[in-house]
Structure 1
C-alpha cells in the first residue's frame, strides 16, 4: 500500500481529511498525522511516505520550507498543499518547488482525488506500479514470468465488483490499487504477474494446477476485501504448457466476465472460462414463460404472498437461463412486465406509463441487483395502479348496490339479485359486501327497512302489519322480532310511547 502523511495545525482539518475519503480502499495507509511543520518534516524523513498532504501555514516550519527541504534531499515524497484563501499567493512557489497540487480549504473530495491521481503514474519501487500500456503489457508480463522458468500458465481476468456507485475518478483509483496489490502479491509469492490489455486487468499465474489457482485466488479475494473493502471476481483459463496459447485466452476470459453482472447470484466468484457457473442451463428460454405467466396471474388474484413468490421464482431463474447476458435478462424481465400490463388492461385496469423509459433505465443498470430493483419497482407501480382502480371500481360497485337497495328494499331482494346487478359472482358477492360495508347483506337490508318502518310508524296511521308489508317483510311476526331487536320495543309499544311523550 502507499503511505501518506497529513499535517495541519488544526486537528479538525486532519480528522476531516482522514474521513473525507476511504483511503484504505484506495490502497493508501495514513502513516502519520502532525500538527506542526517541524514534526511533519521529521516524520517524512523517518517514514518516507509516498504522499504528504501539508498545510501551507504551520508553526515550526511552513509547508514551503518543508517542500524546499525535501527538494534539497531529493526526497521521492509527493506533496499536495492545502490552505486557506489568504495564502493563495504561495501557490506559485509551491508548484515551482515541485508540489503536485494546491487545494483551497474547505477541500472538496473530487479535487483531492484528482490531486492524488496525479501522484500515481510515478511510483516508488515498493508501491503499486502504474498500469502498463497495451503494447508493453504482454512483453513485460511474459518477460517477467520467463525468468521463473514456468512449466504451466493460467490466464485470469480480474473484475472489481460493487464499484457502480463511484464516480469515475474514485473508481479508477480503486482499480489501480487492486491492480497494484495483485501484481505485488504475484511477485511476492513468485506465482506470476499482472498486466492490462484493452482496459481489462489480467493475472498470468504460473506453475499451478487449476485447483491450486482457485485456492490462491480465493485467498487473494479475502486479502483484497480486507484491504480495500472491495470484492473482486476472477475468470480462469485452462492450464497450458504453451506460452503461445495464453493470448488466445484473453478474449474468452474477458467475455466470461459478463457473468459478474449477476455476481450476487453466482455460487462462486472464481469462475472457469469454459464452464457456466450454474452448470448446464436449459437451452430454451421458453422455460421462463410459465414463470412470467405466474407473475402476471398473481396480479389478478390480488394475493401479495403469491405475487412475491412468483416474482422471486422468476428472478432466480433468469441468470442461468440467459447464459449471463445482461441484455437477455433485461429483455425477459421487460417481457414479463408487458405481460402483466396486458393482463391488467384486459381486466379493465388502465395502466399509466409505457416500457420505453423503463427499457432505457434497464439498459443502464450496472448489475443484476439494480435490474431486480428496477423490475420490482415497475411491478409495484402497476400493483398500485391496479389497487387504486380496483378500489375506485369497488367504490362505484358498492355505491350501485346501496343505491339499488335504497330503491328496491320493498322487493324480495337476494344476494343473487344484487350480484347480478353489478355483474359479480354470487358466491364472491357475500364476502365482498361484508368487506366493503362492515356487515353482512341481511343485516344491512334489515337496517334500511327498519329506518323506513320507523318513519312510517311515527308519521302515519298505518297498522304494523301494513308497515311490515310495505317495507318488504312478508312475515309480520318476523317484522316484530326484528323491530324489537333494533328499537327495544314492538312497533305498537314504540308508537304508544312516542305519542305519550309528545302529548305530555
Structure 2
C-alpha cells in the first residue's frame, strides 16, 4: 500500500478527507495527519509518504512554502494542493513548483479519483523514463569502460571518469562457465555493490572492475565467487587478476596484462587464480633440453620400458615451456615437431609396431586445452608404444646384448642386476649366470669396467675434476670410485689424469 499524508488546519476537513473515498481500494493508506504547516513538514520528513494532500493556506507555513522546501530537499513525493480559492496567481505559483494537481474545497469524490488516476499514470510514465534512462546510462557506462580498456579516449565519459579518479581500480577476468545460478548470484551482488563493482562483458568473457573501498575488497569478493561456483556446479573457474591501477586511463595497461595472463594460463592451468604480479619478475632461465640427446635417451627409455625416465624426459620438456612464456601456438608447433622426430626414430627401428598416425598426434596436441594436458597425453601414448615394443620384442637381439646395451646407456645411473632383470622379465639369478657365460664377466664387474673406461675418457679432458668424473660415471661415493679405478688401472684417477695430460702436452 502507498502512504498518504493529510495536512490541513481545519479538523472537519481532516475528517472529511479521511472518508471522502475508500482509500484502500485505490491502493493507499493514511499514515498520519498534519494539523498545520510546521507539523505537516515534520511528518512528511518522518513518514516520507507517496502523496501529500495539503491546504495551500495554513498558519506558520503555507502549502507553497512546504512544497518549496521539500523540492530543495529532493523529495519525490506527489502533492495534491487543496484550496478554497480559484486563483490564477496560486495556480501560477504551483505550476512554477512543478505541481499540477490541486482541488477546490470541498473536495468532490469524482474529481479526487480523477487526480489519483492521473498521478498513477504519471508514476508509470516516470518509471518507464527512469528505466530508459538507467538503461541508457548503463550502456553509456559500459561503452566508456570498454573504451578505457582499449585506450580510446574519444569515447570516454567525463562523469564516469570523475567517479573513478582517485580510486584504486583492479580488473579481473572470469575464465570458465559461471552456470545460471552463479550468474544470478553475481548479478545481485554487483547490483548491491554498484559503487564498487562494475560488470563488463568483453571479448566473450565476463570481467569485474573493482573500485576498491580497501585493498582486500576484491580478494574477499573473488574468494566468495570461487566458493559459489564450486557449490553450484562442482567445477572451478580461473580468475585472472591484473595489477591495481591508480587512474582510470591506466586500465588499458590492466587489460593488456589480462591478455598476457590468458597466454600464461596455457602453461599454468593448475592455478585457479593468476595474479599478474606473480609473473612480473624475469623468469628463471630453464635451458631447453638438447633435442638430439633427449630424443636418443627417450627412444632408449621407450625401448627398455623405463616408465620413470620416460615421464622425467617429458616433465623436463614441460618445465622448459612453462618457463619460456612462448605463445601457445608456438609451444604446440614445437612440441609436435619434437614428437615427429621421435616417432620417426621409433618406426625406423621397429617397423612392425602398429603404425603411428602423425595426423592423429597433430590433432590431439592442437586440441588439448593446456600444456599439462598435452604432456599427459604424450606420456600416455609413449607408454603405450613402449608396452607394444617391450611386449612384442622383449629380447630383440640376444638378451645379453640387450643388457650390455642397457649398461652402456645407463652406466651413470644407479642400476643393478635385479633392476635390469625385472626390466627384461628375467629371473635375476638366471640372467646373471647367462651374462657370465656369454661375456666371461659378472654383471657388476662388467658395469665397473664400462664406468672406469668412461671415466678415463673424461679424465683426459681439462674441464672435469676427479670428483666430478666420479659422479658423472655413476659413483656416488668418491672413495669407492678411487678404489675401483686403482684396482682396474693400477693407479689412482689423479695419477692417470696427470700422466695422460703430460703425454698430450709433450
With structure 2 as the length reference, what TM-score do the two structures score? 0.43
TM-score, normalising length from structure 1? 0.43
